[in-house]
Amino acid sequence: MLETAKQPKWIAMLGLALLLATFFVVLSAWQFGQSRSEGNPVQEITEEPVELTDIFEPRRGITIYEADRIVNLSGEFVEDAQVMINDRLRDGEHGFWAVAAFRVNGAPDDEVIPVVRGWVPEGEEGSAPDVGEPPAGELQLQGRLLPTEAPGGGPRDLPMGVLPTLSVAELINIWGEDSYSGYVVDFSGEAAGASSSLEPVWVGPQPEGSDINWLNLFYAVEWVVFAGFAFYLWWRMVKDAHQKRLEDERLDREWEAHWKRAYLEANEAGHSPEEAEKIANHEAARALEQKETSSAGEPRV
């Protein structure tokens, strides 16, 4: 088989298989790269405080370029615009977040943004304790900007003023105020107030990770299979050519053996060389034909 593979025709075919395999491997590498989408591209700068009004505007959704950023904002809390968010954990203990509307200085139309003032443990029978009103007057806050949560997702038989999730859409309806589409978890402690029972809330940046696109990953594996198939196809064609060459050589040997025997018999019978050659050709062809017919009729195991 090696002799067949060394023929110029099959060496050229091997070169073509190499080119195809290289092309398929490049496509596989590209698909593999596309199958992994990195997490937040601004992960390394989330802890650098920036002004809220410099990076985020009301009436548009929050993106990965704003989410998790630590922001500075100034303004004052809106009177009678506070809710409690149910089932918030702190060191494994269930409690509530106190969330109030904070009117942001420099907002285009005096929009508010929900601010998490702090956390308080559950009262008797899971009730929300009174945490008092937010501090009055001008405040300078600093905290982490986070995207709104989806509405609902918890028990609906909650007391008045208690919500299952921090959904900005629900808060807009409750407060009657235009709002940013995200919320801020206060780290400064100013939002809780000096005499409040609220405990501080710390929310770290979302961990950087990578999502896997399984379709692209499947395509990457598929291209590798195609690369292997290119070599397999070349090997199969060389093997078939080798077997065909062996079969042709076998037929030539059998033809020659039958021809010689028939020629000698015709010569001994007194035929001329020309007649003996014709008889030998005929007998050799008939013998091979009978053998092929007999072989075709045998059952294959």
Collapsing DSSP states into helix, strand and coil, what is residue 130? Answer: coil
Contacts of 42 (CB under 8 A, 6+ apart): 64, 65, 69
pLDDT at 292: 65
Q: Which of left, alpha, beta for 185 (phi over 0: left; psi -120 to 50: alpha)?
A: beta
Q: What b/e string do you get for 34-66 counting C-beta neighbours within 10 Å, with b at 16 or more?
A: ebeeeebeeeeebeeebebbeebebeeebeeeb
One-letter identity of residue 221: V
pLDDT along the chain (301 residues), means of 10: 78 87 87 66 78 93 89 96 93 93 96 96 78 94 95 73 93 95 95 88 74 78 89 88 80 76 76 78 74 56 41
Report domain extents, the chain: 2-27+214-297, 43-208
Closest CA to 141 of 206, 57, 81, 51: 51
